[in-house]
Amino acid sequence: MIVKIEKLDHQGRGIAYLDKPIFIDNALIDEMVDIDIINEYKKYMIGKVNNYVKVSDKRVKPICKYFGICGGCKLMHMSYDDQLVYKKNKVREIMNKFFSSNVKINDTISSTNLFYRNKATFKVNQVIGYFKSKSNDIVKIDKCMIVDDRINEVLNDLQKMNIDTDEVMVRCGNDIMNTYNDNKDILIDIDDYHFNVSPNSFFQVNSFLVGKLYNKVVTYLDLNKEDRVLDLYCGVGSIGIYLSKYCKYVYGVEINESAICNANKNKVINDIDNIDFKCLDAKDIDDLNYNVNKVVVDPPRNGLNKKTIDYLNKNNFDKIVYVSCDPVTLARDLKLLADKYSVLEITPFDMFPHTYHVECVCVLNLR
């Protein structure tokens, strides 16, 4: 059947409508596509393109031969400028739906490099590559177009080996680590800072844009030398270390032991003496009784838990800066904080070019 694409969903899929929505990969607004229905559910259907009857003038040729096969880069058929607009609109639509239509959404901050990833996790089962879209089957990858070229060099070496593990993670900074040959920590430089990162520790995958994101956190917190800042979900301490020269003291809290070990090394490496790190679940933050007046939170994709929300609401902090990798859980949490804090604005950052994912930095003031 032939359908017209009316809009894009938040996973970058085209949406057409019959008696209910049809979600279609690799389709752009205003395109006419001949599709088959491959799955039908109570409230929606999934379609697959057979051919394009009318092609959008905004469509571009993907730079990767695995586009549409690998489950990663869902937006590579869009120009980069259009990707940035899509992500701003995505954040706005999610805020309108789940939180408020009155939030200011800034333009998406672009990545300075589209070969941006400092980390890749390759799946292994006779071949080495990535999972196919919506599948646990593996597509063999010769070269990934969005990673640092040094990772592709390691991938080329791995393809010649008999790998006896399910996956191999490769991460690069000043050096390069792969978890099949070694588990040594590496250093990643961001602006004037140096960060020790271990295999099990989280670190932003886009080294080219993370400095701008951290500087936006600094700006939003509006720090002075009397401020004491809590850095919740601090990871290897990177945000807190950025903040430390602008305020009196920083307290970092993180549940991952290896990340806290990295954070304490990073405190020494960067010669920071006004920061303290504790290994603790964020939901138990009340136990520490910190005397702070500003907070930055950078939780995992599932957002803040109820105890953390309660802690933020009862302590009347001057400012909260929320760094989020999922606008849906961000909107949910902002709604739970809205009685005590007003949301001033949100700035999207394109930490993940060619994918539908977007990072947000949001600033809240005490009412």
Instruction: Tell me how far CA of residue 266 lies from CA of 31, 185, 260, in angstroms.
Output: 51, 12, 9
Beta strands in 5-148 (DSSP E): 7-8, 14-17, 21-24, 32-40, 45-54, 104-105, 119-125, 127-131, 138-140
Q: Which residues of the chain have pLDDT under 70?
A: none
Extents of the domains making up the chain: 2-59, 81-112+207-366
Q: Which CATH architecture has domain 81-112+207-366?
A: 3-Layer(aba) Sandwich (3.40)
Tokens of 278: 């504790």
pLDDT tens-digit readout, 130-184? 998 888 899 999 999 999 999 999 999 999 999 989 999 999 999 999 998 878 9
Residue 85 CB neighbours (<10 A) = 13
- Between the two ends of the chain, the Cα-to-Cα distance in Å is 54
Predicted pLDDT at 287: 87
Report the catalytic residues. Answer: 325
Position 86, amino acid: Y
Predicted pLDDT at 243: 97
Question: Three-class SS of residue 249?
Answer: strand
Tell me yes or no: is domain 2-59 CATH 2.40.50.140: yes
Q: Are strands 359-366 and 21-24 parallel, antiparallel or unpaired?
A: unpaired
Q: What's the number of CA atoms in the CB half-sphere (13 Å) around residue 172?
A: 16
Which is nearest to 238 in space by CA: 352, 118, 366? 118
Instruction: Produce one character per residue of 98-124: b if its CB has 16 or more CB atoms within 10 Å, e if not.
Output: ebeeebebeebbbbeebbbbbbbebbb
Tokens of 279: 């290994």
Tokens of 337: 């904080």
Predicted pLDDT at 135: 85
Length of the chain: 367
The pTM score is 0.95
Instruction: Produce one character per residue of 236-264: b if its CB has 16 or more CB atoms within 10 Å, e if not.
Output: bbbbbbbbbebbebbbbbbebebbbbbbb
